[in-house]
Amino acid sequence: MPFSEFPPNYKIAVVGSGAVGCYYGGKLAHHGMNVHFLMRSDLETVKKNGLQIRSPDGDFHLREVNAFASTEEIGPCDLVLISLKTTANKALEKLIPPLLKENTALLTLQNGFGNEDFLAERFGTERVMGGLCFVCLNRVGHGVIEHYGHGALSIGEFGRSPQPRTRQIVEEFHQSGIITQLAENLVTERWRKLVWNVPFNGLSIAAGKITTDKILADEGLCTLTRNLMAEVIDAANREGHPIPHDFIEEQVSRTYKMNDYKPSSLIDYMAGHEVEVESIWGEPYRRGLRAGAEVGRLEALYFLLKKLTSRESAA
């Protein structure tokens, strides 16, 4: 399959139209891109009222949205943005095929490890790309997304260097008002995101359903946050993905600016939804262990979250 650029006015599908899918898909659509959203619970509201994005970068309201109840209705596309929770990956086996044609690219914006591998095994390695979203946002109502800050993206190819299509997508996101960089090594970027996700998503649940400001305000939790970050960085470095240790203070500093932010895993947990335990904590722990890293704190957090989330779902 050639990795050439997409044709003019290429067709994009968003599978997983929650906060992430609606925000990035909405930005592209606002820029004039040909975007189609797969929606379930928000479908009728969005068809009637459109999609609203509230953001410190500027609010906008997409009054006409291409929203559909099935991927069969959307049909073959050039690019598919995948932003489902990783706990729903099994559904992709049925959702993706109606969207495929010969050169369709699959760009997963999901958290943690294993998502590119899942797609490659089922739909072909040559189709797969990954994107890392460094963004602070929540879905606050049907068809309403609240963007609190950040929003940068790193986009790269799965298992190979950037291609012409990669550079084209990065440029399209740039033109849509999103700071986007080309990821030379996708796995390195995944580790970098986990430096934040592991402690803040995890401790927000394990420490009693608390927001990021309360984690940072507690001396013990703040120390534990830094130590968990150090373990993730050690695991990444031992796997050959260098991340400097001063990245810890950079992440802590930017989190202070988020104020009382609820990480996405906490929102899922409080709503009684499945939490992405394996992709965010389980797989990094196993990879770190195999690489010979010290991951005792990550191990404890992983098994605690497994217990907490299984109890919650059984309650």
What whole-number distance in Å separates Cα of residue 279 and Cα of residue 311?
Answer: 19
Q: Which fold has domain 11-184?
A: Rossmann fold (3.40.50)
Q: Specify whether 101 is catalytic.
A: no
Instruction: Catalytic residue, from 193, 209, 257, 262: name it.
Output: 193
Return the domain boundaries, the chain.
Answer: 11-184, 188-314
Query: pLDDT tens string for the chain (315 positions)?
Result: 446 789 999 999 999 999 999 999 999 999 999 999 999 989 999 999 999 999 999 999 999 999 999 999 999 999 999 999 999 999 999 999 999 999 999 999 999 999 999 999 999 999 999 999 988 889 999 999 999 888 889 999 999 999 999 999 999 999 999 999 999 999 999 999 999 999 999 999 999 999 999 999 999 999 999 999 999 999 999 999 999 999 999 999 999 999 899 999 999 999 999 999 999 999 999 999 999 999 999 999 999 999 999 854 444
Report whether 291 contacts 235 (CB < 8 A): yes
CATH class of 188-314: mainly alpha
Distances (CA, A) of 65 to 5, 25, 46, 190: 25, 10, 7, 31
User: Model's pTM, two decimal places?
Assistant: 0.87
∠ CA 118-97-167 to the nearest 5 degrees? 65
Query: Which residue blocks in the chain are alpha helix, DSSP H?
Result: 19-30, 43-49, 71-74, 92-95, 115-123, 164-175, 186-206, 212-217, 219-238, 247-256, 264-270, 277, 283-290, 296-314
